[in-house]
Amino acid sequence: MSRRCLLRPPSRVILALAAALGLVATGWGSDLADLGPVPQGGLRVVLVRHAQALSNLSPRPDLSPPELDHVTALGREQARAVGQALASLEIDELLSSPAQRAIETTEIVGKALGLEGRVERGVRPLELGRARDGSPLSWQTRQTAWEAGRDPRPPAGESLVDLGERVRDVVQTARGTHAGGTVVLVAHSEVIGAFIGLVQEAPPPDRLDVHVANGSLSVVDADAYGGLTVRFLDHRPDGP
């Protein structure tokens, strides 16, 4: 399963909201140095989408899901670029989704930072859930519901609201441990989109309109009172 390998472009609503919030320019040419200091008593969260994996290729290789869950040669270059971009920051902790493509990305980033990553299940991919007959739901089935303007919570699964809230819980826990510091979360497109959408208070079905490329960085600041602000969106340090 690609887990949203190809996202829709950002909606006009998302782009307008980003501009209104004064986000650092997205895409190429942004500079992490523009962010300024971490809020006093708060936390800076750098959200990294895992580097390109075999599951992101089109056409996708004829391999099993576990075989597809590894980064490509380009993905390794993307991960090295992320590490270089983050080397100018003082990182307190490096956390990774349990998916293998995220772990491999984290290992490469960690080498550049001199840090060992830790698996954090709170940033794992969306739990797709099951249909009424007990069969596993596909990404395509879930996407159909979102495109219809619905954000259901299927049995044994999660809504996008649920997903954003569990990432928020990870952030608030980290703020208690690393107040005044910076943590890096290596996660997935839908995980980052759901969290960014929660912060921006976007309608739940629109939260995957927040596009983040493989190997991109987005930044959210949490203040001392738990307030959240998106500061940086979809910066790609490896260039075009």
Tell me whether residue 118 is exposed, middle or buried, using C-beta atoms within 10 angstroms of its C-beta: 0 to 12, 13 to 18, 19 or more. exposed
Q: What does 204-234 look like in DSSP terms, one character per residue?
A: GGGGGGS---TT-EEEEEE-TTS-EEEEEEE
Is residue 43 within 8 A of residue 182, CB to CB? The reply is yes
Give all domains of the chain, ordered by start, each with its CATH number: 12-235 (3.40.50.1240)
Is residue 47 within 8 A of residue 195, CB to CB? The reply is yes
Instruction: Name the stretches of the chain with pLDDT < 70.
Output: 1-30, 239-240
Residue 31's pLDDT is 72
Is residue 163 within 8 A of residue 154, CB to CB? The reply is no
| Model pLDDT for residues 126-162, shown as the tens digit of each residue | 999 999 999 999 999 999 999 999 999 999 999 999 9
Alpha carbon distance 163, 93 (integer Å): 21
Residue 77's pLDDT is 97
Give me the amino acid identity at 126.
L
Q: What is the pTM of this model?
A: 0.88
Give me the amino acid identity at 24.
V
Residue 51's pLDDT is 98
State whether the Cα torsion 222-228-232-238 is positive or negative: positive
